[in-house]
């Protein structure tokens, strides 16, 4: 096993792509700025076997509910459980910076995942969103659908070295206020900035053909479940500040950090589907993000403060406990 990897490394060096070697081999990781990149041109995807799979992956990503969700013709292919599409959150087909883009992720996996407490593959990460954001079930690893998601992610990542440091990946964090969420203010922010599209009742607006959504729901039976990353207030606040209302990008935020924090708390105080076995997440409890809204916790703070802050005291306690456990 080790020998095989060493040979692979040598042949890569011979090809002159030392910058593309995994961290274990290369001291310096190249930086790639996704905010300055033009995504690859979808109209140029060919009709060979790989191109066909990329096209299918794009269809799954942008039309999930109709392809592999509740509206799929074949009941066996109804993997996702709600009417969301991947690009409702991974915006612009997964190409929008700071909207958890898929650009470059091909070279970032396998990676250590705190939620599972072990190294996970890109397939497992896709299935994480299938079971949580899509409130559904896992795609079989050998399914054409899983291969299509991988092909699509690989195509979007073309030219980006493995293990690159990506600027514009994931979400741009807000600076959370040193206070708990103000739910009353959150409701006002919601009414003024969100309800016109997502509905006063948060249930969204269906697409004209009655399938999927023009404006997706933010809570209720057709939304992501309570194990999804989006249910963490800082995740939702960061997403909302730099991507919402639709049309906003990280360069043109409309909400202040305070507004994003409060509206995030307000949205996440609403009822949504429940995922079983959440207590098994983050088996190393001190690696649990401070705003995870379900226990158990190792820091002595209760669910309420983990849901709605203030987060400063939790961070300080977690840091202290981590330092203590490292010292042993």
Question: Can you give the binding site for ligand HEC, defined by CB under 6 A?
Answer: 64, 84, 86-91, 100, 105, 108, 125-126, 129-130, 133-134, 149, 169-170, 193-194, 196-198, 215-218, 224, 228-230, 235-236, 239-240, 244-246, 255, 263, 267
DSSP conformational letter for 166:
E
74 or 323, CB closer to ligand HEC? 74
Is there a contact between 157 and 107 (Cβ–Cβ < 8 Å)?
A: yes
Tell me the C-alpha distance between 306 and 301, whole Å.
7
> To which H or E segment does residue 33 belong?
strand 31-33
45 or 255, CB closer to ligand HEC? 255
Is there a contact between 168 and 33 (Cβ–Cβ < 8 Å)?
A: yes
12 or 29, CB closer to ligand HEC? 29
Residue 74 CB, nearest distance to ligand HEC (Å)?
Answer: 17
Residue nearest to ligand HEC (CB): 229
Residue 66 CB, nearest distance to ligand HEC (Å)?
Answer: 13
Q: Which residues contact 180 (CB under 8 A, 6 or more apart)?
A: 305, 308, 309, 310
Residue 245 CB, nearest distance to ligand HEC (Å)?
Answer: 3
88 or 305, CB closer to ligand HEC? 88
Is there a contact between 168 and 98 (Cβ–Cβ < 8 Å)?
A: yes
Residue 196 CB, nearest distance to ligand HEC (Å)?
Answer: 5
- Whole-angstrom CA distances from 289 to 56, 166, 252, 273, 274 are 34, 21, 27, 21, 19
Residue 96 CB, nearest distance to ligand HEC (Å)?
Answer: 8
Residue 189 CB, nearest distance to ligand HEC (Å)?
Answer: 6
- Whole-angstrom CA distances from 187 to 69, 173, 267, 273, 310 are 31, 22, 8, 21, 18
201 or 320, CB closer to ligand HEC? 201
Residue 18 CB, nearest distance to ligand HEC (Å)?
Answer: 24
126 or 181, CB closer to ligand HEC? 126
Tokens of 70: 């509740």
159 or 300, CB closer to ligand HEC? 159
First vs last C-alpha separation in the chain = 33
């Amino acid at each position: 096993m080790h020998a095989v990897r060493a040979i692979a490394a040598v042949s890569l060096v011979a090809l002159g792509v030392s910058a593309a070697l995994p961290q274990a081999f290369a001291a310096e990781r190249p930086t790639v700025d996704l905010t300055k990149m033009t995504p690859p041109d979808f109209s140029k995807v060919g009709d060979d076997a790989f191109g066909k799979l990329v096209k299918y992956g794009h269809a799954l990503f942008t039309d999930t509910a109709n392809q592999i969700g509740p509206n799929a013709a074949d009941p066996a292919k109804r993997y996702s459980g709600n009417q969301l599409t991947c690009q409702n959150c991974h915006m612009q087909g997964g190409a929008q910076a700071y909207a958890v883009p898929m650009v470059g992720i091909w070279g970032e996996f396998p990676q250590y995942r705190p939620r599972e407490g072990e190294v996970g593959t890109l397939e497992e990460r896709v299935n994480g969103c299938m079971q949580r954001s899509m409130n559904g079930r896992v795609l079989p690893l050998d399914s054409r659908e899983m291969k299509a998601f991988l092909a699509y992610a690989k195509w979007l990542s073309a030219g980006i070295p493995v293990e690159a440091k990506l600027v514009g990946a994931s979400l741009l964090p807000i600076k959370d206020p040193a206070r708990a969420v103000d739910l009353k203010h959150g409701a006002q922010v919601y009414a003024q900035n969100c309800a016109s599209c997502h509905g006063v009742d948060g249930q969204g607006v269906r697409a004209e053909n009655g399938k999927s959504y023009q404006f997706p729901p933010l809570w209720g039976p057709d939304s992501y479940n309570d194990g999804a990353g989006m249910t963490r207030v800082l995740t939702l606040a960061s997403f909302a500040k730099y991507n919402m209302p639709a049309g906003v990008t990280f360069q043109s935020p409309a909400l202040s950090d305070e507004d994003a924090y409060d509206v995030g708390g307000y949205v996440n105080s609403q009822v949504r589907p429940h995922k079983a076995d959440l207590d098994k997440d983050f088996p190393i409890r001190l690696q649990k993000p401070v705003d995870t809204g379900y226990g158990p916790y190792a820091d002595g703070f209760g669910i309420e403060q983990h849901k709605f802050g203030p987060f400063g005291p939790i961070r300080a306690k977690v840091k202290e406990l981590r330092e203590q456990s490292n010292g042993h």
